[in-house]
Amino acid sequence: MTVSLELDATDLDGVRADFPILNRVMRGGKQLAYLDSGATSQKPLQVLDAERQFLTTSNGAVHRGAHQLMEEATDAFEAGRADIAAFVGAGPDELVFTKNATEALNMVSYVLGDDRFRNAVGPGDVIVTTELEHHANLIPWQELARRTGATLRWYGVTDDGHLDLDSLALDERVKVVAFSHHSNVTGTGAPVAELVRRAKDVGAMTVLDACQSVPHQPVDFQMLDVDFAAFSGHKMLGPTGIGALYGRAGLLAELPPFLTGGSMIETVTMDAATYAAPPQRFEAGTQMISQVVGLAAAARYLSTIGMSAIAAHEHRLVAATLEGLSAIPEVRIIGPTDPALRRSPVAFVVDGVHAHDVGQVLDDDGVAVRVGHHCAAPLHRRFGLAATVRASFAVYNTGDEVDRLIAGVRRAIGFFA
Amino acid sequence: MRLEQMYQDVILDHYKHPHHRGLREPFGAEVFHVNPTCGDEVTLRVTLSDDGQQVTDISYDGQGCSISQAATSVLADLVIGQTITEAMATVAAFNDMVSSRGTVEGDEDVLGDGIAFAGVSKYPARVKCALLGWLAFKTAAAEAAASMGQSHPELQEEP
């Protein structure tokens, strides 16, 4: 791995050498072309080594006891938190670890409905989300509405896959506006500043699903001025079993806990307990210690390459994909076809060939893509579709892999014609 | 090549020219099944004979991949005209084969064109595609029998 403002072929070779899985020859006899990083990314040796190094030298429980391993483990855990927080533009005390982004979004949806919070969601309130969302940023809000008697409303989606900002007007009843930074289907980005401004105008809190942005572009939650944000480790070259909830410092301090138990307390009697300050208040039980170490290594790995360089690299791959697919008459791309208006992933359907069958032909060619509704069934329904093929990119992908994708789609059309 | 092993010509033929497709009247029961991982869906109707012992018609509509659509077409070909007992034996044999990870070849005398789906069993992600219409049929047959006051022991077990 080398550092530069732009990834050239030599840099890319170096990056790919850090991911041994990319050399794998798949069951069809072809080398893996992994175009499913939007589902989960591959992990570089640096992340695996960091976890192994920690577990073979410093493993211990954190924030309890007084022996040397406990001290080293706590230092590694909190240094990891600081690195990860810095990577997303958060203060260390603003970052709560969760098992994944789904848990982070569930956590915030629960505590925002807790009547110990002065601004809790209640009957007659309105929760706003969008038709673009992954189920993880939709169902928790459906459930919050059900629990509290609030009403769920949403921004619709335009025919080209952008949020339709004219489809909903916010008023003083709106308590929460939850939206994804980047769609995991259409590749379009939300107008964060505009949505934050609208939410603030009516006194609503904002929750950002940043799962598809944090791994692919520079992200600074404080600059984005959102109140909460969620992202997952495994989509950003880190381990599974680790995600995070960002919460604005002042706001987190006001919120009651979600899960309760060990390590999140101040004092406990048989009658009652008082709770630790954030972030520990929201981290009940033994934490994902080696996963935090691994995720911090992933954040450092991405930072060393540079998120702007990664964004530019992926942009070139997306542009090539859009160009290649647009040249096939049977292909319909979901979302904008102009690369200036979107990012990864690229979802599409092939006239006359079901997404599953396209995916099977690509699999035979060693090209791994996602098929289905990508946990965004309402969005697919909006476009009259049950399933799409989705190619998603990461720092380690190449133009050659894009060419193999395009060739595979053409092969599928020939096979089923 | 592996792709041709999975997508045998008989499967592609049923996919491009499905048999018994389209929803027909009258029917004894109608069910709607989906594959939640991919969004494939089938609406399937079963008609039983007046004595409730024989499958006289299966009609269906839906959207899905070649495997799910072809498997439903093969199901209708095989099972229309069979007794409930024979039909459930056919369903069980198909289920055994496609769930076997390639260890059960399938009996052509029982499964007819259905043995073409033996290759699918090597792709765990596609087994649910092959079973979508078949499990819908099993549910619909049980509902149709129940609506006639019939109780078949074969229809009680979950696959």
DSSP state of B63: E
Residues 6 or more apart from B67 whose CB is under 8 A from it? A356, A357, B11, B117, B120, B126, B129, B130
Nearest chain A residue (CA) to B6:
A360
pLDDT in tens, A340-358: 999 999 999 999 999 999 9
Residues in chain A within 8 Å Cβ distance of B5: none
Residue A279: cis peptide before it, omega within 30 degrees of 0: yes
- A250's enclosing H/E stretch is helix A249-254
B71, B81 Cβ separation under 8 angstroms: no
CB of B123 within 8 Å of a chain A CB? The answer is yes
Q: Flag if B3 and A360 touch (Cβ within 8 Å).
A: yes
Q: Flag if A354 and B64 touch (Cβ within 8 Å).
A: yes
Give dist(CA A24, CA A215) in Å, integer.
23
Catalytic residue numbers of A? 375
The encoded tokens of residue A410 equal: 């053409």
| Per-residue pLDDT at A3 exceeds 70 | no
pTM over 0.90: yes
Edge-to-edge order in the sheet of strand B40-48: B29-35, B40-48, B55-63
pLDDT in tens, B24-69: 999 999 999 998 877 789 999 999 999 999 999 999 999 899 999 9
CA distance B75 to chain A (A): 20
Q: Flag if B41 and A386 touch (Cβ within 8 Å).
A: yes
B37, B63, B66 member nearest A372 (Cβ): B37
pLDDT in tens, A209-260: 999 999 999 999 999 999 999 999 999 999 999 999 999 999 999 999 999 9
The encoded tokens of residue A98 equal: 């969760």
Q: Beta-carbon neighbour count of residue A414 at 10 Å?
A: 10
pLDDT in tens, A368-401: 999 999 999 999 999 999 899 999 999 999 999 9
The encoded tokens of residue A237 equal: 């070259």
Q: Flag if A354 and B66 touch (Cβ within 8 Å).
A: yes
CB of B61 within 8 Å of a chain A CB? The answer is no
CA distance B33 to chain A (A): 14
Residues in chain B within 8 Å Cβ distance of A355: 38, 65
The pairing of beta strand A273-275 with beta strand A331-334 = unpaired
CB of B51 within 8 Å of a chain A CB? The answer is no
| Per-residue pLDDT at B155 exceeds 80 | no
pLDDT in tens, A318-337: 999 999 999 999 999 999 99
